[in-house]
Structure 1
Amino acid sequence: MLIALFFIYILAIVSGYVPLVIWHGMGDSCCNPLSIGRIIVDIKHMAPGIYVHSLQIGNDIVEDTENGFFMEVNKQIEIACNIIRNDTQLRNGYNAMGLSQGGQFLRAVAQRCPQPSMKILLSVGGQHQGVFGFPRCNADHSIFCELIRDSINLGVYSNFIQEHVVQAEYWHDSENEPLYIQKSNFLALINHERDVGNLQDKNNLQKLTLFILVMFTKDTMVEPKETEWFGFYAPGNTKKLIPLNESAIYLEDRLGLKEMNDAKKLRFIACPSDHLEFSNEWFMENLMPYINGTYQ
């Protein structure tokens, strides 16, 4: 076993590729051969010798999947940081790719855990300003969907729900911003809406070489889809969408995103499909260059 690990380590060094850390999305696991596993195979085919660590939060893939629904997010971030810190093959830095909610989770890792250093962060459909709608149910076009959203609102910010339902921790009620800011157990914190003065957290994010944001233009899972580019509804509104460069998080530079954008560290990529439904060809053309170091 030790000999095998030694040769893997040597191969990773010889290959010259920066190691890659992946965090899966809701309902998936670290090693599903039909999703993350397939992506890893493709990556290793295109970048022979690259070291890939797909994060498993739990003792096995069943726990990993369950924890994506029920383990308090801040605890998951702490576990992920420890896993990354203890992986010797990541000690000289790594790139990271988060799929769906894994995108905002890995951003939290970048903000809170600067060692070892994250270099490039690829957020593929991450919900960085949260969500305000039930998957596959557009409340703007359906009274039934609006009723579902209103029902979720009734208990989503209770302490119990915030501590035990992962998706509640990035539920962003744009119609009641004060309640969201006060009660959100995760998103309001990493977006510095309640913890405004956390300069170290902000500085850590700015150390990224690049922050790549992928939005799925036909997304029916994430409401609103613009959250994948840090856009969101205007406060007190569920119709008017505010893009990143007009938002408070940008204009007040709570995360350093304005400075990063000015330094051309932010890149926005549109994928013309539904949530995470990208083709192998699209992935290789649009994302692989950031993984194998051939991007311009």
Structure 2
Amino acid sequence: MVHVKNIIQQLMPEIYIHSVAVDENPSLDERRSMMGNANDEVDLVCEKLSKVPQLQRGFGAIGFSQGGLFLRALIERCPNISVLTLVTFGSPHMGVSELPLCADENDWLCKKKNEILKRQVWNVAIQKSIIPAQYFRNLAEYDKYLENLRFLADINNERDETFDTLAKERFGKLEKLVLVKFSKDTTLVPKESAWFQEVDPKEGYIVDMRQTRLYKEDLIGFRRLHKEDRVDFYTIEEDHMRFSDSFLVDIVSKYFMNGL
């Protein structure tokens, strides 16, 4: 992310840029992106950002992969910050139904590990310690998802008993939401999750976002944003997180050159 920061800094030298980190130690921060409790990490980042004076008047945010999902959770849950524009790259807004594919088709150890983890994904201990498991969403087991997940199911307001009206209001106040999808994504499965779409568990077709429960019932304010023309969609013809510097420059120029 240092490269991304440098590009933005060169484009907008006067702007304040804050990189979100859960841990000051880069290696530990990377580890905590996979191991930990997503709810606790969102609370921690909320506390940190609330103390940054340069962000008090509102700011724009860019999230990459699961970072975009966590930024959305932050917008919904953190009352002391004001995000004006949110850009997410390949983020699992509707969760993942498969674990990331193994880089090597012949890596049986990787495949076995994924197989075991997938079988245990609803386990309480797994849900409290493995980050990707906390946004695992398989529509074929939707009841288990609602019963066991305490992160994605809550920030998507899918659980009636924990429905958060304030979260919906906060997210619905965004001035602009920008969703970037990677058409050849093999890490985010399904890749359509980046656009708030899902895959029918029986037939395998892509469910248009307007046909999802999240949209039809406007669970988080996304429908309002869309109807008011505050959502933009982009597709990059590449695999997960592979984008050019020029694309990033175009996005930053279009959505952040107003002084945010």
| Counterpart contact for 1:134–1:148, Cα < 8 Å | no
Matched, 1:218 2:184: yes
The CA distance in 2 between the partners of 1:217 and 1:280, in whole Å, is 18
| Counterpart contact for 1:102–1:126, Cα < 8 Å | yes
Instruction: Quote the offset at 1:77 in angstroms.
Output: 0.3
The CA distance in 2 between the partners of 1:207 and 1:114, in whole Å, is 12
| Counterpart position of 1:233 | 199
RMSD of Structure 2 on Structure 1 (CA): 2.3
* Paired residue type of 1:246: Q
| Counterpart position of 2:158 | 193
3-state DSSP class of the match of 1:121? strand
Query: Residues 284 and 214 from structure 1, CA distance in 2 versus in 1: closer, same or farther, beyond 3 angstroms?
Result: same
Query: Residues 147 and 231 from structure 1, CA distance in 2 versus in 1: closer, same or farther, beyond 3 angstroms?
Result: farther
| Counterpart position of 2:238 | 273
Query: Residues 148 and 62 from structure 1, CA distance in 2 versus in 1: closer, same or farther, beyond 3 angstroms?
Result: closer
Query: Residues 163 and 238 from structure 1, CA distance in 2 versus in 1: closer, same or farther, beyond 3 angstroms?
Result: farther
| Counterpart position of 1:132 | 97
| Counterpart contact for 2:145–2:153, Cα < 8 Å | yes
* Paired residue type of 2:128: E
Note the residue ranges of structure 1 that are not aligned, 5 or more in a row. Answer: 1-35, 139-143
Identity across aligned pairs (percent)? Answer: 28
| Counterpart contact for 1:175–1:238, Cα < 8 Å | no
Instruction: Quote the offset at 1:37 in angstroms.
Output: 0.3
Q: 2:9 aligns with which of 32, 44, 50?
A: 44
| Counterpart position of 1:19 | none
* Paired residue type of 1:202: K
| Counterpart position of 2:174 | 208
3-state DSSP class of the match of 2:84? strand
Query: Residues 237 and 148 from structure 1, CA distance in 2 versus in 1: closer, same or farther, beyond 3 angstroms?
Result: farther
The CA distance in 2 between the partners of 1:130 and 1:197, in whole Å, is 18
The CA distance in 2 between the partners of 1:76 and 1:264, in whole Å, is 31
The CA distance in 2 between the partners of 1:178 and 1:287, in whole Å, is 40
| Counterpart contact for 2:99–2:118, Cα < 8 Å | no
Instruction: Quote the offset at 1:238 in angstroms.
Output: 6.7
| Counterpart position of 1:63 | 28
Instruction: Quote the offset at 1:286 in angstroms.
Output: 3.2
| Counterpart position of 1:248 | 213
The CA distance in 2 between the partners of 1:49 and 1:274, in whole Å, is 33
Q: 1:106 aligns with which of 71, 80, 83?
A: 71
The CA distance in 1 between the partners of 2:203 and 2:249, in whole Å, is 36
The CA distance in 1 between the partners of 2:36 and 2:252, in whole Å, is 29
The CA distance in 2 between the partners of 1:262 and 1:113, in whole Å, is 25
* Paired residue type of 2:68: G
* Paired residue type of 1:282: F
Instruction: Quote the offset at 1:90 in angstroms.
Output: 0.6
The CA distance in 1 between the partners of 2:142 and 2:112, in whole Å, is 19
Instruction: Quote the offset at 1:290 in angstroms.
Output: 1.1
Instruction: Quote the offset at 1:220 in angstroms.
Output: 1.4
Which structure is higher in RCO with an 8 Å CA cutoff and minimum separation 6? 2
Instruction: Quote the offset at 1:147 in angstroms.
Output: 8.4
User: Would you say how many aligned residue pairs link Structure 1 and Structure 2?
Assistant: 255
Question: TM-score w.r.t. structure 2 length?
Answer: 0.91
The CA distance in 1 between the partners of 2:253 and 2:239, in whole Å, is 20
Residues 26-78 of structure 1, C-alpha deviations (whole Å, 9 max, x = no match): xxxxxxxxxx0011001010111110100110131122111111120000100
The CA distance in 1 between the partners of 2:241 and 2:63, in whole Å, is 11
* Paired residue type of 1:170: Y
